């Protein structure tokens, strides 16, 4: 079993910039959401946190870890999609230059949605097969969208694959298949 959350609001969300493999810090509202995650997950028997190594997720993971008192590990496998030359650009510019709805399209120097999906799903399956650990993964909207599209067997653009920045997802891994068990709103 594992839980997964996406990092909360960052400064670049407010500025309307595509983060990808670039970074911005959590806002005060984002920090409060991270604390809510910690309080909501405090009694869920989580044994460790594995977070993306980028700052906005590691900042979220550290806040949660202080509350639930477990160690944090970092992995580049949990990174958001790499948008290459579009990382850090204003969303308005990106939408004019790039079709974000095409899962196979790769921006210059970046990766496709499907490449990111394959990377993230493979990693989650590999790490989650350890039955003695209950892990919290801290990652991104795109990674959770990829996971939900896999679980539901839907296109990643389907509304069922939308993820909120204050939701906590609980999954089971059974015979290398991932199944959604619960969606909770942080309190």
Active site residues: 7, 80
| Distance in angstroms (rounded) separating the CA atoms of residues 4 and 101 | 23
Distance between start and end Cα atoms, the chain: 21
d(CA 167, CA 183) in angstroms, rounded, equals 7
Rounded to whole angstroms, how far apart are CA atoms 147 and 124?
9
User: Which distant-in-sequence residues (6+ apart) come within 8 Å of 165 by Cβ?
Assistant: 6, 7, 8, 9, 33, 141
Alpha-carbon gap, residue 7 to 171, rounded angstroms: 18
The answer to whether the CB of 52 falls within 8 A of the CB of 138 is yes
């Amino acid at each position: 079993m594992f839980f997964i959350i996406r990092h909360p609001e960052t400064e670049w969300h407010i500025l309307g910039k595509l983060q990808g493999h670039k970074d911005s810090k959590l806002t005060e509202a984002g920090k409060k959401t991270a604390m809510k995650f910690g309080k909501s997950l405090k009694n869920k028997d989580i044994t460790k946190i594995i977070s993306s190594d980028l700052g906005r997720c590691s900042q979220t993971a550290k806040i949660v870890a202080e509350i639930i008192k477990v160690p944090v590990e970092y992995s580049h496998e949990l990174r958001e999609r790499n948008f290459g030359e579009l990382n850090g650009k204003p969303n308005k510019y990106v939408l004019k230059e790039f079709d974000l709805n095409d899962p196979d399209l790769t921006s210059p120097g970046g990766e496709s949605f499907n490449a990111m999906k394959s990377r993230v799903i493979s990693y989650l399956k590999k790490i989650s097969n350890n039955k003695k650990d209950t892990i919290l993964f801290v990652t991104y909207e795109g990674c959770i969208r990829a996971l939900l599209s896999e679980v539901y067997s839907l296109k990643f653009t389907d509304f069922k694959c939308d993820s909120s920045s204050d939701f906590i997802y609980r999954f089971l891994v059974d015979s290398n298949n991932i199944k959604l068990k619960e969606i909770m709103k942080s309190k």
